[in-house]
Structure 1
Amino acid sequence: MSDENTGTGEGLPGLDLDRLRSYLDREVPGLVSGPLTGHVITGGKSNLTYVVTDGTGSWVVRRPPLGHVLATAHDMAREYRVMTALRDTDVPVPRTHHLCEDTEVLGAPFYVMEHVGGTAFRTQEEIGPLGADGIHAVAERLVTTLGRLHAVDPATVGLADFGRPDGYLERQVRRWSKQLEASRSRDIPGIDELRDRLARTIPEPSAPAIVHGDYRLDNVLVTDDGELTAVLDWEMATLGDPLVDLGLMLVYRERPVTGGDHPATSAEGFPSSAELVEMYAAATGRDVSRLGWYVAFGCFKLAVIAEGIHFRHGQGLTVGAGFDGIGDVVAPLVERAHTMLKED
């Protein structure tokens, strides 16, 4: 992972390390044993993620972004609950330590979790040393892990009430339509027509499962020898139609929002979208015949998310680098979604 703003708290927007240390000493005695330093993990474009250390141990702190937080987004309790529930399954997640919903501590809810080793691959340069065979193996593990997540029985891990699968796709289209209105600051050709087309053509849903909500290569950590050590960024997890995860993963496969001109998913050895679909179908046995709709919906959702980040960046409320061009991905995503619906 790349990072910046290493220090004792100065230059760490949204994280007061002295207040954090005092709070953890009181609520989780023995976790921290000295003064904290920290840095921001860059690359993510939504929740703020920091690594903090007392010189002996290290932990990750997650909190919502600064300002213009969309309703229902950036849910710290949701992330914390699902990772805690999955800790004893074969879906790799960081071990959780503490959730704080008292906004008086850091100005927003936050949680503390294990700092897991590994890299969130974003560029060809980062993933290239694995070689073509190693890169292909990582992609296979990415898909296999998604299948394992979708095979977990929510009730057995205490998540039976984590969402409402009935009517999930209809609610998702409505939800992201509302998020679009909350972030709208410019004209986006074709996006309203896309919203309406998605609402008119909703498919029969796949059997419900735990949905990650933002599953992609750079939301997992991978070791230097290609082992997948953790799935991260569970803020949009729920119960619903798992094919939305596959559809969005394919959107990121073709148009990642990180990695610049040479994203990791374009490296030699990384499977094509068709190969990824075959892997998923083989691993899960699910019907993927209407996947075009799910890819189109993934384009719409990602376009809305990018537009929200573009809005915050224009207000000076983003932390870290890499936001200048985020608004440029919106129009191509809308165009691709219309193409996918024609083919569906």
Structure 2
Amino acid sequence: MSYVDLNGIWRSTDAGAAGDYNYVLELSAGTDGALTGYMRAPQGTFYLRGRIDPEPRPAARPDGGIAFGWTVSRRAEQVVAESTTGFAAQYFPEADRIVAQWIIAESTTPADTWNSANVGSVVYTRSHGGQLEEPIANPEPEEQALAAGTAFDYTRLTGKWYNELGSCVELSADRLFGLSGKYNSSVGEAASEYFLSGTFDRVPPAADGGKGVTLGWTVGWNNTAYGDSHSASTWAGQVFLGQDPAWDIITTQWLLTVSTAATRVWASTNLGSDVFRRTQPDGATVARVKAAGFGAAHPSVSDIVARGEKYAK
């Protein structure tokens, strides 16, 4: 069995574990490491996008998990309708089970970002029947996309964004509420580039309300230059657009999941935060942050590998 066995329909083992509704997952894993699909409930259908790190960690075999993640923007629950949810998960092929941690990033004002994120966990098992499993049409057709979010210039998401240590996320936003691009943990070094996939809110809050627009993306830490770290990270947060693009800011929380044995899933996931701006910090600024002893906003790939080996089995 392999990561392509993610394809299919999945249901939560606990109807209240990831929201008021027992969302049904419909997943499609691509050979390029991309993940697409839907989260569906009777009250709504929501498009998801993500990335997969394709192999279990060798030290976690024979029942090691495959790390992956996805984001979905909007929710059926009205209390968090203006939100993006990021999932960081492991797929355990032997048990045919998905174990995920999640962050819901709700749209708030800048002063209330402390109240934006909620976290939790959910377990999915494969579904072999059910009334929601009939074929469906695309729930977000192009004409809906054209009508949605006219107060939000989604093209402002496209471009390069930097955290305080200079790591770069390069985003490209499309009219169907999708994000694609690359994450570079070492600016200027092409070997450090990793593909990302994500989503942003298709019906953002009113422009005069002062709230952010929610978004998220996932990276699978696997590339040709550095090999496979058997891990995936998912960011979920908000973008606040200023009067000038130079003032734009993205605030996020992230989940990092490393491949472990099924009995070690409790040790698989870390939580942290990142803030991205359009301006790349200069060398002196980066040096000051490092000298203060706070480390990286997101760990390096070598740190991820070391953590995974520590907790794999």
Tell me the TM-score normalised to structure 2 length.
0.30
Tell me the TM-score normalised to structure 1 length.
0.28
Whichever structure has more helix as a proportion of its residues is 1
Whichever structure has more strand as a proportion of its residues is 2
